[in-house]
Structure 1
């Protein structure tokens, strides 16, 4: 009998180490549980896809086998970026799909991102799959299997809608992730000249890790921008649902500032629309959205929480600091780094000075994402304790929708529990360096009061 390790059932997905906590037998069982849940929701067909990881083909076969055993039709779109799988669930009208991906995790990881009946499974819905397996509450039947090439439909849907005002020369770094099989071709079809960096799909990631939220992973892109006539750099994570942006002079435009440009663009056509952003985002974002005629909505971090909030509010645009951008205007509302790149190029192709436009977005002094590494479960306990005991004299507001976001007149500090690893995530932003240091000292004080042995990264 297969043993299903509890730790692989995460907040947003199922994820484990290949050959240890994630084997073909485990994936096959989870596939049957997913198919059982799909049938319980009245769905009879599920699309599956996989990223470029070396374990992908074996695990995809196991996933298909498990789904078919539950009695559902499996439509396999092959090696695709995660957003292409999401697109396929709309195009093929299944509204259900499973993406086999390790995203930006190390090469020995893989996992499952699951959409059923239009809902991205997260939290209790992921745990419900585990409970199904433990109780043997599994549907059985004789499902079917077929393959489908979704590539042209995806390209045609975007090129039929997104129009550049002029030809642009860009550099694209896919870090050997699966986005390399889509991004260069997409942007060429939109009318760009593309300089390719590490666009050959290779699950060993031989050049650098495919995670554009880490500045070191953008060094190659910066170098190409400095030594070529490319006017903009785009970078993608391992499965293509997150976008990184680098200017001609090497500055990183972080996703919360990307969202400002997208908000200005979307609100120009949809005055009064809501724009959602996560608690890690810059404090310049809300006033910017209001100034452009929109309504800002702060939300918990996590792509499944953002999607749920979009459904609840009817928002046309959302984004989070990690690089997930969600367009509901002219698109489907799921996070798609490739499509976000296309919309950015459309907007910038209308500007006289691309670099100047990007530099003109309001900025502040800020830290990257910092982490306090802890033992399993300690991250949640520490945040709960801080929410109950921490006091911040001089703060204008303490927001507790996701950890503690403490707003001051000249900056903010954030401490929240990661939902994927046993760490507390910290981020600080201020008008100037002295204010940043003052806010950090306030957090140092309350964290060490709550946990004197905490190893602080600042």
Structure 2
């Protein structure tokens, strides 16, 4: 949804800045770049996204958790605005939502957020870091541990609001790879 809405905003305002959280990023970044916009990452959470919108003059910011923020709505979150925009896109393109996002989902399969209740989230993050960080192509500690493994990446973070560990995994057009890595991460998290 963040990518879909980002494309709509950059089409209306060429060169626009779009803010996204660090959980699932590849689809959004590709769409924004192809549309001629600029993607800016901010930590998960309304205070961080709103601050990034203001700091960068961004037209739109979206979180994977379905929180959407709009410059023209005082950088506030709204559930109604995105659905009105999606309905508009569906009408203009004469396609259902499933068709609008099918190509994006195929290009960047993602796990969705998986929550784990663990006794010591920092110990689990260190265990995952030890297993994967030596082979990572890029690392991002903005919000939890994000490791780019080349053809797949993950973000593992402690929740800001609940006693859980949150995992998000994405790949480059490889659902089987996503499933394999999810199985491996699940086993490592479970200990």
TM-score range normalised by the length of the shorter chain:
0.7 to 0.9
Distance 1:339 1:442 in 2: 38
Residue 295 (1) aligns with residue 26 (2): no
Distance 1:361 1:335 in 2: 27
Q: State the match for 2:137 in structure 1.
A: 396
Distance 1:398 1:369, change over 3 A: same
Q: Contact conserved, 1:383 with 1:417, CA < 8 A, in 2?
A: no
Corresponding residue to 2:110 among 366, 370, 374: 366
Map 1:9-48; keep pairs closer than 5 Å.
Answer: none
Distance 1:300 1:387, change over 3 A: farther
Residue 426 (1) aligns with residue 161 (2): no
Q: Contact conserved, 1:260 with 1:361, CA < 8 A, in 2?
A: no
Map 1:3-82; keep pairs closer than 5 Å.
Answer: none
Distance 2:43 2:35 in 1: 23
Corresponding residue to 1:335 among 77, 92, 105: 77
Greater RCO, CA 8 A, separation 6+: 2
Could you say what the CA RMSD is over the residues aligned between the two structures, in angstroms?
2.5
Q: State the match for 1:306 in structure 2.
A: 49
Q: CA deviation at 1:358?
A: 1.5
Q: CA deviation at 1:356?
A: 6.5
* Long gaps (5+) in structure 2: none
Q: State the match for 1:79 in structure 2.
A: none
Distance 2:183 2:134 in 1: 12
Q: CA deviation at 1:436?
A: 1.7
Distance 1:304 1:365, change over 3 A: same
Distance 1:356 1:428, change over 3 A: closer
Query: Is the radius of gyration larger for structure 1 or structure 2?
Result: 1
Q: Deviations over 1:203-242 (max 9, x none)?
A: xxxxxxxxxxxxxxxxxxxxxxxxxxxxxxxxxxxxxxxx
Q: Deviations over 1:6-51 (max 9, x none)?
A: xxxxxxxxxxxxxxxxxxxxxxxxxxxxxxxxxxxxxxxxxxxxxx
Distance 2:97 2:183 in 1: 35
Aligned residues: 188
Q: Contact conserved, 2:114 with 2:166, CA < 8 A, in 1?
A: yes
Map 1:46-195; keep pairs closer than 5 Å.
Answer: none
Distance 1:276 1:355, change over 3 A: closer
Q: CA deviation at 1:294?
A: 0.6
Q: Contact conserved, 1:264 with 1:289, CA < 8 A, in 2?
A: yes
Q: CA deviation at 1:429?
A: 1.7
Q: Which structure dedicates a bigger proportion of its chain to helix?
A: 2
Q: Deviations over 1:341-374 (max 9, x none)?
A: 1222223222223347514541133223212212
Q: CA deviation at 1:284?
A: 1.6
Which consecutive segments of 4 or more residues in structure 1 shift more than 4 A?
A: 386-391
Q: State the match for 2:19 in structure 1.
A: 276
Residue 354 (1) aligns with residue 89 (2): no
Distance 1:346 1:419, change over 3 A: same
Distance 2:98 2:132 in 1: 41
* Long gaps (5+) in structure 1: 1-257, 449-453
Equivalent position SS for 1:305: helix
